[in-house]
Amino acid sequence: MLCNVVLCDEIINKLHIYIYIYIYIFFLKLMFRFGVVVMKILANLQARSVSSMLPFSGSTIARNYMIWLCHQSLQACFVGHHTIDTFFRELVWSLKACSTGFWPKTKSDGSPLTGYAAQMAGEPLMDGFTIWLWAVIGDLDYYYKNLRLPNSNSKCPCAWCPANTTTLKWYDFRWPRAKWPDAVYTKAAWLATAFSQCPLFNESLGITILSVYPDWMHCKHLGIDKILLGSVLWLLVHQVLPAGLGDAEARLSFLMGQIFEMYDQLGSKHRYGAIKMTMFSSKSSAKPILKGRAAEVKCLGPVLHEIWQRYMNTRIELHNNVELVLRGSRHLDFIIDNSPDSYALDETQSEDLIVTGFGYLSVWRDLAQDCKERGMPIFGMTAKAHFLMHCCLLSRFILRVLLKGGSSIYLPNVWCVCFYVCCVT
């Protein structure tokens, strides 16, 4: 009975949150229709913080998400009144104080401090320590919309080099003949581009494109691996598995039995409970892209590699190329998984990662062209493959940051960004 009561309380609390969300959505609709009037009303409200305006007192996570809902929906993008830019200017002001180790003497806009802050101006801030922003990690949408870096779907998709779709092809993975790795931006070259306008970038603090890193998980497991494994599943179900098994649904059911068996053989930690046809082959998307969490996708790769080797026809070039791509993808994860505590890979490991990455992506590119000529909508390649190779090229220097970008679940990740800082004396 006690368990039932607790469960009911949890459900009621969740219902309260949903009700408040609906209230805020209604409020947001009013904002869009009567924005000027509502803003005048808000201007007369005296509130110490956004949190104090919330009509409920729930968990910290629930309150933070509600605050973010308001911020995300009400942010302004006008000249002189840009919400994200204002936030970054405040952040840079704070980071400047942290880098000096002393309390600031003025506000971020240069105006005088008041109250306790004015009394502490110029005093030691952290007992001899300083803080410097080390790395900015985020997904590609965050980089484009908030940091004003290139759109990953454009003809010039890369923030770290001038690769494009014409003269310096981002999909050129011929190692070492590809030219774009030698064109990676230096700090001076990047500052000369149009992509350094976000207020977060500050040369005096050393925050440039050299502080921004691609995220291994989003580029690989939640990026190109979903296309790879979705395409392999599509081939197995529609072409490779014996026709005597029945229709596509029957072949998928048989394949799931093979997958569960291989999960046990390989000792996979993160497993799909089921894979339905709609999870990799839907009417809304012409290209097979597997749905799932990063850990599930990662653990499915070796499983499908083993199953593919069991049913592939070695006399068919396309089948051999698929096997090479699966093998290369699997080996990349093997290298990373065998260096779990390394700040960076050693020279031998890094070279193996780079050569393997360029090699299997080069085969993938040829495979994609072959499938396109055959009229099969599989193995499409996106610019995330290019960003993955930037991860590989950086692995000798700063591997930990590349791997941990998507691992945190606290509030900054609601912004799709994780700021790493280091403290020094």
At 65 the pLDDT is: 65
With vertex at residue 325, the alpha carbon angle to CA 320 and CA 328, rounded to the nearest 5 degrees, is 125
Average pLDDT (41-66) is 55
> What is the helix (H) or strand (E) element at residue 421, kind and residue range?
strand 417-424
- Give the Cα separation of 158 and 177 in Å (integer): 19
Which residues are paired to 130 by β-bridges?
424
**Which one is predicted more confidently, 67 or 293?**
293
> Which is it for strands 130-138 and 417-424: parallel, antiparallel or unpaired?
antiparallel
- Give the Cα separation of 226 and 304 in Å (integer): 12
Q: How confident is the model at residue 173 (pLDDT cuts 50, 70, 90)?
A: very high
What are the backbone angles phi and psi of residue 164, rounded to the nearest 5°?
-145, -165
- Asked, for residue 345, whether it belongs to a domain, the answer is yes
Structural domain of 281? 216-404
- Asked, for residue 277, whether it belongs to a domain, the answer is yes
- Give the Cα separation of 272 and 226 in Å (integer): 13
Q: How confident is the model at residue 245 (pLDDT cuts 50, 70, 90)?
A: very high
Dig out the tokens for 206 from the structure: 């050393």
At 330 the pLDDT is: 97
- Asked, for residue 126, whether it belongs to a domain, the answer is no
When the pLDDT of each residue in the chain is averaged and rounded to a whole number, the result is 81
Query: Which parts of 44-137 fold into alpha helices (H)?
Result: 60-74, 83-100, 115-120
For 305-361, write each residue's pLDDT tens digit: 999 999 999 999 999 999 999 999 999 999 998 886 777 888 999 999 999 999 999
Average pLDDT (197-225) is 91
Q: What are the DSSP E strand ranges found in 114-263?
A: 130-138, 212-213
Cβ proximity of 199 and 223 under 8 Å: no
111: DSSP letter: P
Cβ proximity of 219 and 391 under 8 Å: yes
What's CA 151's distance to the chain center, in Å? 14
Which residues are paired to 300 by β-bridges?
none
At 181 the pLDDT is: 95
Average pLDDT (387-404) is 81
At 415 the pLDDT is: 33
- Asked, for residue 155, whether it belongs to a domain, the answer is no
At 409 the pLDDT is: 29
In this predicted structure, which of 46-60, 89-103, 198-212, 358-372 has the lowest mean pLDDT? Answer: 46-60
Residues 6+ away with beta carbon under 8 Å from 25: none
How many beta carbons lie within 10 A of that of residue 425, not counting itself?
8
Which residues are paired to 213 by β-bridges?
137
The sign of the torsion formed by the CA atoms of 403, 409, 412, 415 equals positive
Which residues are paired to 134 by β-bridges?
none
Closest CA to 71 of 412, 418, 420: 412
- Asked, for residue 390, whether it belongs to a domain, the answer is yes
At 396 the pLDDT is: 86
Query: Which parts of 312-406 fold into alpha helices (H)?
Result: 317-337, 347-373, 384-404
At 19 the pLDDT is: 46
What's CA 293's distance to the chain center, in Å? 12
At 331 the pLDDT is: 97
How many beta carbons lie within 10 A of that of residue 334, not counting itself?
12
- Asked, for residue 257, whether it belongs to a domain, the answer is yes
- Asked, for residue 158, whether it belongs to a domain, the answer is no
Closest CA to 290 of 304, 275, 268, 312: 275
Dig out the tokens for 400 from the structure: 């930990």
pLDDT above 70: percentage of residues in the chain: 75
> Which is it for strands 212-213 and 417-424: parallel, antiparallel or unpaired?
unpaired
Buried b (16+ CB within 10 A) or exposed e, 81-114: eeebbbbbbebbbebebbbebbbbeeeeeeeeee
At residue 284, does pLDDT exceed 70? no
How many domains does one find in the chain? 2
Mean pLDDT: which of 148-157, 340-349, 415-424 is highest? 148-157
Query: Which parts of 278-346 fold into alpha helices (H)?
Result: 294-311, 317-337
Domain boundary among 30, 50, 74: 74
At residue 258, does pLDDT exceed 90? yes
- Asked, for residue 86, whether it belongs to a domain, the answer is no
At 404 the pLDDT is: 52
Closest CA to 191 of 211, 165, 163, 171: 211
53: DSSP letter: G
At 189 the pLDDT is: 92
At 172 the pLDDT is: 96
How many beta carbons lie within 10 A of that of residue 1, not counting itself?
5
**Which one is predicted more confidently, 8 or 144?**
144
- Give the Cα separation of 116 and 36 in Å (integer): 35
Average pLDDT (178-190) is 94
What's the length of the chain?
425
Average pLDDT (18-37) is 48
At 222 the pLDDT is: 93
